[in-house]
Structure 1
Amino acid sequence: MNKEKIEKSENKCELQKILDIIGGKWSMSIIYALIFGKRRFKELERLIPGISTRMLVKELKNMEENDIVIREAFATVPPTVEYSLTPKGRKLEPIINELYKWGIEYGITEN
């Protein structure tokens, strides 16, 4: 019985690690915006109402460090930067779709 409680406790810890990566207030919105393809920074900023430039930079860096997002910089004037999902990030698409369906089912999201 103690072992079961320890395993559940350890699972909570693992879930917290996952939520630290994709559970930020803006993470799901960023991932959702990138599901449809590469986006420039300003495009992401326009697509996610309410996010500050500083917060978008922070979230993108975190997601890049955790191999969810790829940042691709081009040597142009002015510099061009595009973001896209990694294969690991792409695997989140069905999860986000299920969350969206759940929101519709319980009247949280409009269809």
Structure 2
Amino acid sequence: MGVSEEATNPPKSLLADVDGAMCPARLVLEHVTSRWGVLILIALHKRSYRFSELRRHVGRVSEKMLTQTLQTLERDGFVHRDAKPVIPPRVDYSLTPLGEEAARRVRELARWTDQRVPEVTAARERYDALRRETATGSSQ
């Protein structure tokens, strides 16, 4: 039995074309790194939440946006929605194994960002000062 073409020539990495408009990884990357996607993954990495608890924990997210983001993350296989058949209805959200992996990586990025805030603040101050000098110099 011969070795398949796919086994000997695996497809090129999707990352090689992540900047391409039709790249399948691009949409997933957008979902995982969206404003609310990042915060939801980080929150669910700690524990499961009910909808209202998650909304309070994340903060400043509308019900509509939280619902849409959870549905998107569930569709992509990152979030598990567990609807309990009780009255009143109870729905818990947790991460799937794929979601756990994504959350770990997003948390690493969040930690790196937190460590670099002073550098970003300094860069902003330099930029703003230069813009003020340029504006002042050109108006004279």
Range class of TM-score, shorter chain: 0.7 to 0.9
Higher RCO (Cα < 8 Å, 6 or more apart): 1
RMSD: 1.8
Structure 1 residue aligned with 2:122: none
Distance in 2 separating the partners of 1:93 and 1:22: 9
Distance in 1 separating the partners of 2:105 and 2:114: 14
How far off its partner does 1:94 sit? 2.6
Structure 1 residue aligned with 2:80: 70
Superposed counterparts of 1:1-111, under 5 Å:
8=16, 10-13=17-20, 14=23, 15-107=25-117
Larger radius of gyration: 2
Q: Deviations over 1:27-64 (max 9, x none)?
A: 01001110111110011010011100000000000011
> Is 2:77–2:96's contact at 8 Å kept on the other side of the alignment?
yes
Aligned to 1:92, what secondary structure does the other structure show?
A: helix
Q: How many residues align?
A: 101
The one-letter code matched in structure 2 to 1:47 is H
Structure 2 residue aligned with 1:3: none
Q: Deviations over 1:52-95 (max 9, x none)?
A: 00000000000111000000001111100000000000002331
Distance in 2 separating the partners of 1:20 and 1:107: 23
Higher helix share: 2
TM-score by length of 1: 0.81
Aligned to 1:12, what secondary structure does the other structure show?
A: coil
Aligned to 2:80, what secondary structure does the other structure show?
A: strand
TM-score by length of 2: 0.65
Distance in 1 separating the partners of 2:111 and 2:53: 25
* Residue identity (%): 30
Gaps of 5+ in 1: 1-6
